[in-house]
Amino acid sequence: MFQHAEYTATQIYVRSARSTLSVLLDTLTKGNDPDRMKGALYVLGDKGIMSYALADEGFHTKSLVSLLECQHEEKPSIQKLINNFALECLTHLHEDVLHTDAYSLQTAPAVDDALTSLQQGFSPAFIPKSLLDDALSKMPIRVAKRNAIYEQTITSILEIASRPNTHVRLVRAKT
């Protein structure tokens, strides 16, 4: 019942997934009722919610780590959900979500030429210079933050995978 209400709320109310993700992810920790954990996994497994959680910088690492950390629950149905969702997460981890060398590469001359040509089609007042300068000055900060999140995520996943008590099927899913 809760799962259906949660799906409906996230489809109707913009950003409602953001307000419930912390509660759902905290439900995956040790000491919670296995049935409650299973319900949270079903909600988190919704493609829309999963996609949002993995794309959001604030929830990206926590979503992946919480999913992998809840392997402590031995219930086979929960283990199956964890394995399925760990594999499904891979489809949501495309280059836009992950660290990429594209942030630090120089653009190709053809790209620069195309941008210059495109820029000539607009009046200089189309984008105020102060706004453009402000956006350009914030780019290195965003890239550094994204790179730090990437490093933290990879380190956390490798730490979980290298534990002696990590389920073999999860180690295979992570590699």
pTM equals 0.72
pLDDT digits (tens, 9 = 90+) for 34-53: 988 998 898 888 888 888 88
15: left (phi over 0), alpha (psi -120 to 50) or beta: left
Number of neighbours of residue 6 by Cβ within 10 angstroms: 21
Q: Which pLDDT value is given to residue 169? A: 54
pLDDT digits (tens, 9 = 90+) for 99-158: 566 667 777 888 888 988 888 888 878 888 899 899 989 988 988 888 888 889 889 988
Among residues of the chain, what percentage have pLDDT more than 90?
A: 7
Q: How many domains does the chain have?
A: 1
Instruction: Compute the distance between CA of residue 73 and CA of residue 41 in angstroms, rounded to an integer.
Output: 12
Pairs from 170-175 (Cβ < 8 Å, separation ≥ 24): 170/68, 170/71, 170/82, 170/83, 170/86, 173/83, 173/86, 173/87, 174/68, 174/86
With vertex at residue 23, the alpha carbon angle to CA 20 and CA 24, rounded to the nearest 5 degrees, is 85
Residue with tokens 């060398």: 101
Number of neighbours of residue 79 by Cβ within 10 angstroms: 16
Structural domain span for residue 95: 2-174
